[in-house]
Amino acid sequence: MNESTQQQVFEIIAKQAKIEIAIIKPESTLKDLGIESLEAIELIFDIEEHFDINFPDQQGANFDSDTAKSLVDAVQKALDDKAAASEGSN
Protein backbone atom coordinates (compact mmCIF):
# COMPACT_ATOMS: atom_id res chain seq x y z
CA MET A 1 0.00 0.00 0.00
CA ASN A 2 1.32 3.38 -1.00
CA GLU A 3 0.78 5.72 1.97
CA SER A 4 0.67 8.82 -0.14
CA THR A 5 -2.07 7.38 -2.39
CA GLN A 6 -4.17 6.73 0.71
CA GLN A 7 -3.45 10.20 2.05
CA GLN A 8 -4.46 11.82 -1.22
CA VAL A 9 -7.68 9.78 -1.57
CA PHE A 10 -8.66 10.52 2.03
CA GLU A 11 -8.06 14.22 1.47
CA ILE A 12 -10.37 14.18 -1.56
CA ILE A 13 -13.03 12.27 0.43
CA ALA A 14 -12.75 14.71 3.34
CA LYS A 15 -13.20 17.65 1.01
CA GLN A 16 -16.23 16.12 -0.72
CA ALA A 17 -17.88 15.07 2.55
CA LYS A 18 -16.86 18.30 4.31
CA ILE A 19 -15.49 16.32 7.27
CA GLU A 20 -12.20 16.13 9.20
CA ILE A 21 -9.81 13.71 7.56
CA ALA A 22 -9.24 11.97 10.92
CA ILE A 23 -12.85 10.70 10.87
CA ILE A 24 -12.14 8.56 7.79
CA LYS A 25 -11.18 4.96 8.58
CA PRO A 26 -10.19 2.47 5.90
CA GLU A 27 -13.33 0.46 6.64
CA SER A 28 -15.71 3.47 6.49
CA THR A 29 -18.16 3.19 3.61
CA LEU A 30 -19.01 6.27 1.58
CA LYS A 31 -22.50 6.04 2.97
CA ASP A 32 -21.09 6.03 6.55
CA LEU A 33 -19.32 9.26 5.66
CA GLY A 34 -22.52 10.81 4.35
CA ILE A 35 -21.60 10.50 0.67
CA GLU A 36 -24.47 9.11 -1.38
CA SER A 37 -25.87 9.01 -4.87
CA LEU A 38 -24.70 11.97 -6.99
CA GLU A 39 -22.07 12.98 -4.39
CA ALA A 40 -20.46 9.56 -4.76
CA ILE A 41 -20.34 10.01 -8.54
CA GLU A 42 -18.82 13.45 -8.02
CA LEU A 43 -16.19 11.99 -5.67
CA ILE A 44 -15.24 9.36 -8.23
CA PHE A 45 -14.90 12.13 -10.81
CA ASP A 46 -12.65 14.15 -8.45
CA ILE A 47 -10.45 11.10 -7.82
CA GLU A 48 -10.20 10.30 -11.54
CA GLU A 49 -9.27 13.89 -12.34
CA HIS A 50 -6.71 14.08 -9.53
CA PHE A 51 -4.85 10.89 -10.51
CA ASP A 52 -5.67 11.03 -14.25
CA ILE A 53 -7.12 7.52 -14.21
CA ASN A 54 -10.41 5.87 -15.23
CA PHE A 55 -12.35 3.64 -12.91
CA PRO A 56 -14.13 0.80 -14.67
CA ASP A 57 -17.86 1.33 -15.25
CA GLN A 58 -20.34 0.16 -12.72
CA GLN A 59 -23.69 1.44 -11.61
CA GLY A 60 -23.57 4.57 -9.50
CA ALA A 61 -25.58 3.21 -6.61
CA ASN A 62 -22.86 0.65 -5.91
CA PHE A 63 -20.30 3.25 -4.89
CA ASP A 64 -22.30 4.08 -1.77
CA SER A 65 -21.31 0.77 -0.17
CA ASP A 66 -17.64 1.03 -1.21
CA THR A 67 -15.16 1.53 1.62
CA ALA A 68 -12.43 4.15 1.72
CA LYS A 69 -9.86 1.34 1.53
CA SER A 70 -11.48 -0.21 -1.55
CA LEU A 71 -11.25 3.18 -3.29
CA VAL A 72 -7.57 3.50 -2.36
CA ASP A 73 -6.94 -0.03 -3.65
CA ALA A 74 -8.77 0.76 -6.90
CA VAL A 75 -6.72 3.93 -7.37
CA GLN A 76 -3.48 2.06 -6.67
CA LYS A 77 -4.43 -0.66 -9.16
CA ALA A 78 -5.29 1.92 -11.81
CA LEU A 79 -1.96 3.72 -11.19
CA ASP A 80 -0.02 0.44 -11.37
CA ASP A 81 -1.81 -0.54 -14.60
CA LYS A 82 -1.03 2.86 -16.06
CA ALA A 83 2.66 2.59 -15.10
CA ALA A 84 2.85 -0.93 -16.57
CA ALA A 85 1.18 0.24 -19.78
CA SER A 86 3.58 3.14 -20.19
CA GLU A 87 6.62 0.88 -19.51
CA GLY A 88 5.25 -1.60 -22.00
CA SER A 89 5.04 1.07 -24.66
CA ASN A 90 8.66 2.21 -24.14
Partner 1 sequence: MQSVPMRRVVITGMGAISPLGVGAEALWQGLREGRSAIGPLRHPDAERLRVKIAAQVPAHFDPAANIDERILPMLDRTSEFALHAAREAIAQSGLDFRRNDLGVRTAVVVGTGVGGETTQDEQSKRLYGENSQRAHPLTIVRLMTNASASQISIAHGLRGPTYAVASACASANHAIIQAAMMIRYGTADAAITGGTEACITYGALRAWEAMRVLADDTCRPFSVNRRGLVLGEGAGIFVLESMEHAQARGATILAELAGSGMTADATDIVMPSADGAASAMRQALADACLTPQDVDYINAHGTGTLANDVTETKAIRLAFGAHADRLAVSSTKSMHGHALGASGALELVAVIGALRDSVVPPTANLDQVDPACDLDYVPNVAREMPVRAALSNSFAFGGLNAVLALKRAP
Give the interface with partner 1 as residue ranges (CB under 8 A).
37-38, 41, 44-45, 54, 57-62
Q: How far apart are CA 59 and CA 40, in angstroms?
A: 11
- Quickly list DSSP for 24-53: --TT-BTTTTT--THHHHHHHHHHHHHHT-
Closer to partner 1 by Cβ: residue 6 or 40: 40
Closer to partner 1 by Cβ: residue 2 or 37: 37
Amino acid at 14: A
Shortest distance (Å) from residue 2 CB to partner 1: 25
Shortest distance (Å) from residue 21 CB to partner 1: 25
Closer to partner 1 by Cβ: residue 22 or 38: 38
67, β-bridge pairs = 29
The answer to whether the CB of 59 falls within 8 A of the CB of 1 is: no
Shortest distance (Å) from residue 57 CB to partner 1: 6
